[in-house]
Amino acid sequence: MSLETPVTEWAKPARTRSIRDDLLLGTPIVLVIAALGWRLAGPATSVGLALLGAIAIVLIARSRARRYDRRWLIAAIDAARRDAEDSSDLLFADPAALTSFQRLQRARVAARLAAEPAPDLYRARSHRMAIALWIVAAAAIAAIALWPDRNTPGGPLSPANEGAARPGIPALRAQRLTIVPPAYTGLPARALGTLDARVPAGSRLEWTLAFTPDPVAASLVVLDGTRTPLTRSSATWTATRIADRAFLYRVVAQGGQPVPPLHRIDMVVDQPPRIRLVSPAETLVQMSPGQRSWSLTFEASDDYGVQPVASLRIVVAQGEGENVRFSERIVPVRATGDPRRRIFATTIALGGAGFTEPGDLVAQLTVADARMPSPHRVVGPGVILRRPPASGAESGLEAMTRRTMPAYFSSQRQVIIDAEALLAERPRPAPDRFLARSNTIADDQRLLRMRYGQFMGEEVGGGATAAMPTSDAEDGTAPTADQHAGEPPTAAPQFGQDSAIVETYGHTHDESEAATLLDPGTRATLRQALDNMRQSETALRLSEPRRALPFAYKALRFIKQVQQATRIFLARTGSQLPPVDLARRLTGDRADMAARGLASTAAAPVDATASAIWAALDARNDAGGLDALARWLRANQARVPDPLALAAAIDTLRRDPACAACREKLRGTLWSALPRPAPGLTRRHAGDAIGRRYLDALP
């Protein structure tokens, strides 16, 4: 016997038996996992799990078999053969490195082992564990097969009512519609015995149908012409579709009924979350003296659930006029409560937020719902914490010129920010809403232009006006003779005195006591700022904020240059209210009041296509009218309360033009979908001759 024979021959059976025992223990576990995959995800997943489990068990068994190496073999030989005298390790040693006594002992051990057959060195495992595992696995597989599946409901098919069966013509005899909602809804799957359903958007619809007799082919035909073929599986036919929109469909079998009944699938659209401010009660809060923190609480609700983490946007605006500094940061806020109604509470440290000067701190919460992969994101209401400026002692002319209520104007920087925010808003607002917001920004630009225009001697309204605030005359009308009755008489203008002519026939604004005096350079710079403001306002009025931004930026740069001017003189004038004309007060004089009649509002024109078709539905030959109504419905689905019901009524009448009940049903459905004319003012009827004489005789 070769000395290497124990390694190659005696250890090989031990390795083989070890691998066999490991496979015997791991196989029932793999079978249970495969059965679970079959029930939860279908045959393909089950086969994949079985292959992965088998590969894992083989790798584990081979790894465990490596324990039976030379070291194990030496220990096993010494334990099994006493005549080896614990010297079997000499069989694998290098003879050149052994002493004479070791070589003698090695020869004696080799002769003894060769004289007798190879011993069984593998210690057999107990089969009790393997038997117990197989019994448990069999019970688990039986339970998985018999346990009702909640995620993919099955069960027997429900009978279908498709009319009397005719020999040789395929007819639908059993049906089941399985609805698997998206995972983010948290709703369980359900099986219906009908083919009409109302499902969440994105649900997976699974049809299981049975025909008698079986057709050659069958499909689901949507009313718009698209088809979903049915696949035959033993005695049933199946199909799958994702509910991305509401639709009407038929189950059409080849060689079956010519006009199967219509079925309807309605879709429940996921609504965006709603945010409500819980505390504070008001959106504008005045900061109290000594306040160091600010607590906010929001409530977010959604039909399926709100994500547990929201983002709070904190904007700090400090300063006055054009010298306003902005800082912004976003902090996460974790919610508590039920996923469908979460509470977001946080406390803002005012010092940590950098809110240390008079100004505003604005907080807005942004939440997202659980819809995947594109959740709805909603920005909540803005809450403002206002730190009022410190009130200082005022005296002299400063106290006289202080107004009772300050005027708030949007700064040029804010106009730019609003215009950029309007351009960056996604999705883009509707055209009418976009124009309204652009006009709002243009109004802010106009107010700011008039505010700076006063420093140049411009009128508040943008031009000279003859009507005084106490007059009821329309703008642009000539003043009456007694309008300046209370004013002191002025001397006649002298030849060559331009200022006297201006004082007589116009208004002066460059008086040293009533107007602003600017040096020529500063005055030119301010004029350029006003011109750019006017260009910006014009572009905003035309709903073109992108074209208005360059002019707005130029105006901002010129305003900054004016603010840095070396000399600016501002007149200190008190609050001047328009004088009350005591001669006209309580006299009832209405001579200069212009007639202000209410102009009639013309009603907006409406599309008369549907109305004309409704009126023509009494005719029998109206196939062209039905086609026109179908085209009108495709173009106006958003304006129709129930477009599927109207489409079904059109299809029913088209297939059976002689059905009077179908015609009346279509007319009734169309009547509820007709566009209502916009209300408008109409002139009252003048009446007959007797009525006019009666009205004329009234005092």
Q: How confident is the model over 632-642, as pLDDT tens digits?
A: 888 888 778 88
Torsion sign (Cα): 152, 158, 164, 166: positive
Average pLDDT, the chain: 76
Specify whether the CB–CB gap between 190 and 241 falls below 8 A.
no
Specify whether the CB–CB gap between 568 and 526 falls below 8 A.
no
**Encoded tokens for 80:** 């099994």
Which uninterrupted H or E stretch holds 206?
strand 204-212
**Encoded tokens for 299:** 């409530």
- Predicted confidence band at 97 (pLDDT cuts at 50, 70, 90)? confident
List residues bridging with 359 in a β-sheet: 318, 387
By C-alpha distance, which of 385, 322, 381, 380 is closest to 355? 385
Mean pLDDT across the stretch 4-16?
A: 63
Range picked from 2-16, 109-123, 286-300, 622-636 for highest mean pLDDT:
286-300
> Cα(37)–Cα(521) distance, rounded to whole angstroms?
83
- Count of CB atoms situated within 10 Å of the CB of 683: 6
Q: CA angle, corner 322, sides to 320 and 328, nearest 5? A: 80
Specify whether the CB–CB gap between 650 and 667 falls below 8 A.
no
Burial of 77 (0-12, 13-18, 19+ CB in 10 A): buried
> Cα(332)–Cα(624) distance, rounded to whole angstroms?
60
**Encoded tokens for 118:** 């190879």
Sort strands 383-387 and 284-286 into parallel, antiparallel or unpaired: parallel
Tell the residue number behind the tokens 């946080």, with chain if given: 346
At 116-165, the pLDDT tens digits run: 665 666 666 777 888 888 888 888 888 877 765 444 445 567 777 665 55
**3-class DSSP assignment, residue 419:** helix
Q: Is residue 452 scored above 80 in pLDDT?
A: yes
pTM higher than 0.85, yes or no? no
**Encoded tokens for 333:** 């806020």
Residue 347's pLDDT is what? 94
At 102-116, the pLDDT tens digits run: 777 777 777 777 666
> Cα(490)–Cα(505) distance, rounded to whole angstroms?
11
Nearby residues of 16 by Cβ (< 8 Å), 6 or more positions away: none
Specify whether the CB–CB gap between 129 and 25 falls below 8 A.
yes
Specify whether the CB–CB gap between 236 and 209 falls below 8 A.
yes
Range picked from 72-86, 149-163, 249-263 for highest mean pLDDT:
249-263
Mean pLDDT across the stretch 632-658?
A: 83
